[in-house]
A and B are shown apart, each in its own frame.
Chain A
Amino acid sequence: MKFFIYLSNYFSNRETIQEIILIPVIATLLAIFLGLLLLIVSGSSTQIALTALVALFTGSFGSLSAISETLTAATPLIFAALGIAVGFRAGLFNIGAEGQIILGGMAAVAIGFSFQLPFFLHLLFLLLAGALLGACYAFISGWLKATTGAHEVITTIMLNLIAYRLLDFFLRMPAIQKEGRNDPISKSIFETAELPRILNYLDPNLRVHMGFIIAIIAVTFVYWLIFHTTIGYEFRAVGKNLDASKYGGINSSMTIIVAMSLAGLLAGLAGATQISGILGRATPGFSAGIGFDAIAVALLGRAHPIGVLFSSILFGALIAGGRAMQVSADVSLDLITVIQALIIIFIAAPILIRKLFPWVFK
C-alpha cells in the first residue's frame, strides 16, 4: 500500500489514488470480462473463452518473449501518447499523431537507406530527422490555430489524410521504391541505422529494442518539462485558462505553436523508432493506427507522463496478448479492439465504475 501512495504522489497530488489506479485497473478487468462474455454470447464455448483468457495473459506477461513483445508494442505508443498528452496539457486535441508518425517514419527511412554513416551517428541522424519532420508537420496545425483560429481537430485530421497520400506517392518514387518491386515498398535501411535489440545477448529473437529505453527517457523528460519548466507552466496555464494566461503575460499563440510542434516531435520519434527498431522499411500501412490508439492511451493515462507509460504498456500487452489469443484460441484480433474500446468507455465514466463496485471505494 505504501508503494501505491508513493506512486500516487508521483502521478499528481490533486487526484485521489482511486481515480488514478483503481479505476483503470477495474476498467481493464471489467472490459476483458465483458469481451470474453461477448465471445461466449456469439457462440464460442466457455472452453475457448477460457483458453483465450489464458492466452491473453501468457501472451503478454507469461514469458520473457511475451514481455518483450509487450514492450515492443508499447514503445511507439509511449512516444505518440506523450505527444498527445503534451497537447492536452496545453488545451490542444491533437488527432494528428498518425500523420506525424508517417512523416517521421518517412524521414527515418530516407535517412536510413540513402547513405551509410558510422553506427551511432547514423542512428542519431535518423532519429533527429524523424523528430524534426514530425514537428514540422504538427507545426502547420499549431501555426494555423495561433494565427487564424482554425481548430486543430480539423486541421490535424486533414493533415492525416494528406500524410497517407504523401506516403503512397513517396513509396512509388523510383529513388525510394525497392528495386525490382512493383508494390509500394521502400528500400530497407542500413544496419548502421537500426536500433539495437537490448536483450540480444539472451535470445536474438527478443524484439524489444533501444527505442524502449529512449521512450523511458522521453517520459522523464516530458514529466520534467510539464511540471518543472517555464514552458511547461505556460502550456498548463494556457490549457487550463486562456484568459488568465493572457492576463499573466503569457504569449498564448507562441505557446500553442510550441506545444503542437513538441507533440509532433514526439509522434515523429514514434514513427522513426518503429522504422529503425522493428520494420526496417516503409510500407503503405506502416503507421498501423498507432496515432489513434495513442489518443486512447493518453486519455487513459490522464495526460500524465507516468500514466502514459503504464497505459502504453497495458495497450502493448493487449496487442501482444491478442496475437497469442489469435494463435491458441483462434479468436479474432478484433476482440482486442472491442476490449480497448470498453476500457476507454469505463475510464470515461468513472461514476459507473464507482456505482458497480462500491465496496472497492469505501
Chain B
Amino acid sequence: MKLKLNEISKSFGPVKANSDINLTVDCGEILGLLGENGAGKTTLMNILTGLYKPDSGSILIDSQLKEFHNPREANKNGVGMVHQHFMLVPVFSVTENIILGAEPTTIFNKIDLTNAKEKVLKISSEYNLDVDPDQLIEKLPVGIQQRVEIIKILFRDAEILIFDEPTAVLTPQEVIEFFAIIKNLKKAGKAIVFITHKLHEVLEVCDRINVLRSGKIVGEELPKKTNNKKLAELMVGRKVNLKTSRQIVEKGEVLLEVNNLSILSENKEPLLSNLDVKLHKNEILGIAGVQGNGQTEFIEALTGLRKISSGKISYFGKECKNFSPRKIHQLGVRHIPEDRQKQGLIGDFSLTENIILNTYYEKKFSNNIALNWSNAKKEAKRIIEKFDVRTNSEEIIADKLSGGNQQKLLIGREMSRSINLLIASQPTRGVDVGSIEYIHNQIVMARNKGIGVLLNSTELDEIIALSDRIIVFYEGRVIAEFPSNADPNIIGLAMAGVN
C-alpha cells in the first residue's frame, strides 16, 4: 500500500503543531521522520492513526481518500503503530496481548486461542521475530516486548507500519536486531515510517529522510547524499557542534573513593558486589553498561538514597556512613537522577518550587519557618536565563516543559550552586539534539573547572565522547576499565559480559 499525506495542518490553540505537511511512503520503503522533541512528529502520526482530526488536508491510501475517526478505523485500513511506550498487559501471555481488542472467537464467543497462536507463530517465523506465543509479557526483555507490538499490528494485517522512537528503550544489541527486523518487513513490501531524533539511525536504515522542524517539513534527504552534520542542522535550524571538544586536563586528587562496596536486595541477592571505584578532580569517569547491571543501585548508594550492606564510601577523604541525601548534598555533591520525572522534578510543582527542591531549607530561601518566595523566584529566573530553559514564566508547572527544557532546569539547579562533584545519570535521555550539545558542554566545563564527574549512561557514544576513563558494569561488578581512547567494540563486548 502507498500512503500519501496532503497539506495536513493541525493547531492547538495558537500553536501550529503541523502546517501544510506533504509526505509519501511507498510499499517496500522505509521513510525516516526526523525531528526534535516538540517538532510535531507525534501529532502527525496521531492524525494518521485517527487519534486527532486534522484542521485541513487529506490522507490518501493507494490514491483513495480516507478519513479516520479512531485508531480502530486506521487499523482496518492497514495503518498500524508501534508506540514508544508499549501498550501491553504484563500478566497476559504474548498471544493474549496480541489478540486483545480483536479476539478471534468460535461458537458462543469463546476465544479461539489455538488458531490465534498458530497465526502468531506464522507471523513470527515469517519475519524472523522469534517470539514464544505462550510466554508472559512481564518475563520478556524490552526488545522482545517490542516484537510483540510489531506482531500485534501485523496480526491486524497492517501494511503501513509506524514506529515512534522505537530504539529509545533498546540496548545497543537489541537495536541491531531491530534494524534487521524492519529491513525484513521492508522486503515483505510493507510501507514503514520510522520516527526518531537519532541521526545515525536514519542514515543506517532509511531509504528517504524527511526532517520536521516547528511543524513543517524543512527538508528531504537521501541517506547516501547527506551526513550527520547536515541533518542535525536541518533539524535544529542552526549550526550544531556534534563533537564536544574536550582538551586534556591533568587529573587531581581523589574526590570519591568506594572500597569493597556490596549491596544486597531484600531477598539477600547481591545487587552490587565488592566494588572499588575512585574518582579524581578534573576527571569524567564514565559508567558504561546495559541498563539493570547495578548502575542505578550504585548511584543510589552514593547519593544516600540506598543503604549499603558492607564496604565504604568516602567523599573528599572522609568516610560517609549512612549519610542522608541532604547531608551528601551539603558536601557539594550534586546529583542529576536518571529519571527526571520520577525523581528529579515534581511535575505538578511550578518551576520556582522545583528550583528549591533540595535547598528550600537553606537560609537563602527560608528562615526555618516561612519560605522566602521572592528569593526563590529570583533564583528560578536566574537559572532559567543562565541555562536557557525555554519558558515564558517561572510559575508554570514543570510537566508543561519539554523533556529537554526539564533537563536543563534540573541541570541548572544542580550546577548553579557551589559544587565539588557531579553525579550525572542519563543526563541526555529523551533530550533533543540541541539540548544534548548544551548539556555535554556544561559537563565538560564543570570538569575543566576542577569538578569530578561521575557519568552514568546507557548510550555508549555519550560515554566515549565525554569520559576520561570508562568502567563497565556487568551483573553488579566492575568487569573492565578502559582509557578514553579505547575501541568501542571492545567496550561493547565488555558490556555483554565478555572480558
Residue ranges of A at the interface with B (Cβ–Cβ < 8 Å): 13-14, 224, 228-231, 233, 236-237, 240-241, 243-249, 251
Q: Are B346 and A237 in contact (CB under 8 A)?
A: yes
Interfacial residues of chain B within 341-367, with CB under 8 A of chain A in the complex: 342-350, 353, 356-358, 360-361, 366
Set of chain B residues within 8 Å of A229, measured between Cβ atoms: 369-371
Contact B326 A244 (CB under 8 A): no
Give 29 CB contacts A-B under 8 Å: A13-B395, A228-B373, A229-B370, A229-B371, A230-B369, A230-B370, A230-B371, A233-B353, A237-B346, A237-B349, A237-B357, A240-B349, A241-B346, A241-B348, A244-B345, A244-B346, A244-B357, A245-B357, A246-B305, A246-B325, A247-B303, A247-B335, A247-B337, A247-B357, A247-B358, A248-B360, A249-B324, A249-B326, A249-B358
17 more CB-based (< 8 A) A-B contacts, given A230-B370, A230-B371, A247-B343: A14-B350, A229-B369, A229-B370, A230-B369, A233-B353, A233-B356, A237-B349, A240-B348, A240-B349, A244-B346, A245-B346, A245-B357, A247-B305, A247-B358, A248-B360, A249-B329, A251-B324
The reply to whether B347 and A241 contact each other, CB–CB distance below 8 Å, is: yes
- The 5 A-B pairs with the shortest beta carbon distances in the complex, nearest first, are A249-B326, A248-B357, A248-B358, A241-B346, A249-B325
Provide the bound-state CA to CA distance between A14 and B397, in Å: 8
Which B residue's beta carbon lies closest to that of A238?
A: B346
B394 CB → nearest A CB, Å = 12
Give Cα distance in the complex from A46 to B458, angstroms.
Answer: 72
Query: Which A residues are in CB contact (< 8 Å) with B63?
Result: none
Task: Verify A230–B360 contact, CB threshold 8 A.
Answer: yes
Q: Taking CB as reference atom, which chain B residue is nearest A251?
A: B324
Contacts of A249 in B (CB 8 A): 324-326, 329, 358, 361
- Chain B residues with a Cβ under 8 A of chain A: 303, 305, 324-326, 329, 335, 337, 342-350, 353, 356-358, 360-361, 366, 368-371, 373, 395, 397
How far, in whole Å, are A239 and B349 apart by their CA atoms in the complex? 11
Q: Is the CB of A236 within 8 A of B358?
A: no
Contact of A230 with B348 at beta-carbon distance under 8 Å, contacts A243-B343, A247-B325 already known: no
Tell me whether A244 and B343 are in contact in the complex, defined as CB-CB below 8 angstroms, given that A229-B369, A230-B360 are known contacts. Answer: yes
Chain B interface SS verdict (over half): loop
Q: Give the CA-CA distance A193 to B345 in the complex, in Å.
A: 49
For B366, the closest partner residue in chain A by CB is: A230
A311 nearest CB across to chain B (Å)? 22
| Residue contact A247 to B344, C-beta cutoff 8 Å | yes
Q: How far is the CB of A14 from chain B (nearest CB, A)?
A: 6
Task: Please name all residues of chain A whose beta carbon is closer than 8 Å to the beta carbon of B361 when the two chains form the complex.
Answer: 230, 249
Expressed in whole angstroms, the minimum distance between the Cβ of A304 and any Cβ of chain B is: 14
B368 nearest CB neighbor, chain A only:
A230
The winner among A14, A236, A244 for most chain B CB atoms within 10 A is A244
- Contacts of A243 on B, CB cut-off 8 Å? 342-343
Q: Could you tell me the distance between the alpha carbons of A65 and B366 in the complex, rounded to whole angstroms?
A: 46
CB distance from B352 to the nearest CB of A (A): 11
CA distance A228 to B376 in the complex (A): 12
Q: Is A244's CB under 8 angstroms from B344's CB?
A: yes
Q: How far is the CA of A249 from the CA of B326 in the complex (A)?
A: 4
Q: Are B343 and A236 neighbours in the complex by a CB distance under 8 Å?
A: no
By beta carbon, the residue of chain B nearest A232 is: B371
Residues of A within 8 A of B368 (CB): 230
Contact of A248 among B325, B373, B397 (CB under 8 A): B325
In the complex, what residue of chain A is closest to B358 when comparing beta carbons? A248
A229 to chain B minimum Cβ distance, whole angstroms, is: 5
Q: Which residues of B contact A14 (CB under 8 A)?
A: 348, 350, 397
Chain B residues positioned under 8 Å from A233 (CB to CB): 353, 356, 360, 371
Contact of A236 with B344 in the complex, beta carbons under 8 Å: no
Give A314 Cβ to nearest chain B Cβ, in Å: 26
- Chain A residues contacting B343 (CB-CB under 8 Å) are 243-244, 247
Shortest distance from the beta carbon of A37 to any chain B beta carbon, whole Å: 35
Q: Which residues of A contact B356 (CB under 8 A)?
A: 233
Once bound together, how far apart are the Cα atoms of A329 and B342, in whole Å? 56
Instruction: Tell me the bound Cα distance from A75 to B317 in angstroms.
Output: 59
A246 proximity list for chain B (CB < 8 A): 305, 325
A224 to B371, CA, bound (A): 10
Complex contacts, A248 vs chain B, CB 8 Å: 325, 357-358, 360
Residues of chain B contacted by A240 (CB below 8 angstroms): 346-349
| Distance between A177 CB and nearest chain B CB, rounded to angstroms | 44
| Closest CB in chain A relative to B330 CB, distance in Å | 9
| Residues in B whose Cβ lies below 8 Å from that of A228 | 370-371, 373
B349 touches A236 (CB 8 A): yes
CB neighbours of B373 from chain A (8 A):
228
Instruction: Specify which of A236, A241, A245, A247 lies most central, judged by the most chain B CB atoms within 10 Å of its CB.
Output: A247
* Neighbouring A residues of B350 by C-beta, 8 Å: 14
A224 to B373, CA, bound (A): 12
Query: What residue of chain B has the Cβ atom nearest to residue A234's Cβ?
Result: B360
A241 to B337: give the CA distance in the assembly, Å: 14
- Bound complex: CA A77 to CA B195 (Å): 55
CB-CB < 8 A to B397: which residues of A? 14
Q: Give the docked Cα–Cα distance between A243 and B350 (Å).
A: 17
Residue of B nearest to A233 (CB): B360
Instruction: Please indicate the chain B residues that have their CB under 8 angstroms from the CB of A251 in the complex.
Output: 324
How many whole Å from B350's CB to the nearest CB in chain A? Answer: 8
Which of A230, A236, A237, A244 interacts with B342 by CB under 8 Å?
A244
Residues of A close to B371: CB separation below 8 A: 228-230, 233
Q: Which residues of B are found within 8 Å of A244, using beta-carbon distances?
A: 342-346, 357
Give the docked Cα–Cα distance between A310 and B32 (Å).
56
Q: For the complex, what is the distance from the CA of A14 to the CA of B398, rounded to whole Å?
A: 12
Closest to B325 in A: A249
- Chain A residue at minimal CB-CB distance from B353: A233
- Nearest-neighbour CB distance to chain A for B12, whole angstroms, equals 16
CA A192 to CA B325, docked complex, whole Å: 51
Shortest Cβ gap from B434 to chain A (Å): 26
Chain A residues closer than 8 Å to B360, beta-carbon distance? 230, 233, 248
What chain A residues lie within 8 Å of B369 (beta carbons)? 229-231
- The smallest C-beta distance from A88 to any residue of chain B, in angstroms, reads 13
Alpha-carbon separation in the docked complex, A229 to B345 (Å): 19
Measured between C-beta atoms, what is the minimum distance from A18 to chain B in Å? 16
Residues of A within 8 A of B329 (CB): 249
Which residue of chain A has the shortest Cβ distance to B304 in the bound complex?
A: A249
A29 to B326, alpha carbons, bound, how many Å? 50
- Chain A CB within 10 Å, residue with most, of B335, B349, B353: B349
- Whole-angstrom CA separation of A13 from B360 in the bound complex: 21
